[in-house]
Homo-oligomer: A and B are copies of this chain.
Amino acid sequence: MTSAQAEPPTPPWRRPRKGAPARRPLSRDLIVRTAQDILRTEGLDGVSMRRVAQELGTGPASLYAHVSDKDELLELVVDRIAGEIPLLEPDPARWQEQLKEAARAARRVWTTYSDVSRISLGSVPTGENQLRIAENHLAIMRAGGVPDQVAAWFVDRMGLYVDADAFEGSVFAARFREGWDAGEYFGQIRRYYEGLSPERFPHITSLVGELMEGEDEERFEFGLDLMVRGLASYVNG
């Protein structure tokens, strides 16, 4: 449970004046951090206004003094999480590998908070930290000699790809959180594919092994490699 954090959610608060406030010191940052904790441990479905409020020992209505919307709260959570993604110092000689490493770093954080992609996918990045990451990706590509228009579009497409891959992972994570077993689930899928009619699905039935091959990271790496290879072909010729 997260009650260990709920008990004293108040660090040694620096009081603005003397005299202990009888009212609970709610704040925007505290709310966002609480929502982030719930997102990490219970997924997006666990993050409700009531749940966040409960964790802070209050009611849902109290949150609306600090946050206009649930959407706004979630956007703030996303950017806070984006702050955990490390930046890279551009090295022109290694720009392709650096770009991949940047994508991996983003994926690593994004899969830690498995459902953050459900919020970020499809939303235009406007938060401080998200912009810093886009800025970093642009710097790496420009150092590598990628044309401006290509670099600009690639930032968009690579962000979409990382989001989408994490989203896919979050769907499975949700299933497994509900008690499903991973091996059993994919075993069922495999057996279902194997049992299809070879006349109507000749390629699928003959490629079951290949279709099921590879862990999450391996498939992510494959897609990433596709995109960077394609990008490189815009630079060299």
- A122–B216 alpha-carbon span in the complex (Å): 12
A149–B229 touching, CB < 8 Å? no
Tell me whether A91 is interfacial, beta carbon within 8 Å: no
Which of A4-12, A36-44, A132-140 interfaces with chain B? Answer: A132-140
Q: Which of B202, B219, B233 contacts A157 (CB 8 A)?
A: B219
- A144–B132 alpha-carbon span in the complex (Å): 41
A167: chain B residues within 8 A (beta carbon): 121-122, 164, 167
Give the interface size bracket for A toward B. 35 or more
Tell me whether A184 is interfacial, beta carbon within 8 Å: no
A residues touching B (Cβ–Cβ < 8 Å)? Answer: 121-124, 126, 131-132, 134-135, 138-139, 142, 148-149, 151-157, 160-161, 163-165, 167-172, 189, 192, 196, 200-204, 207, 210-211, 213-214, 219, 222-223, 225-231, 233
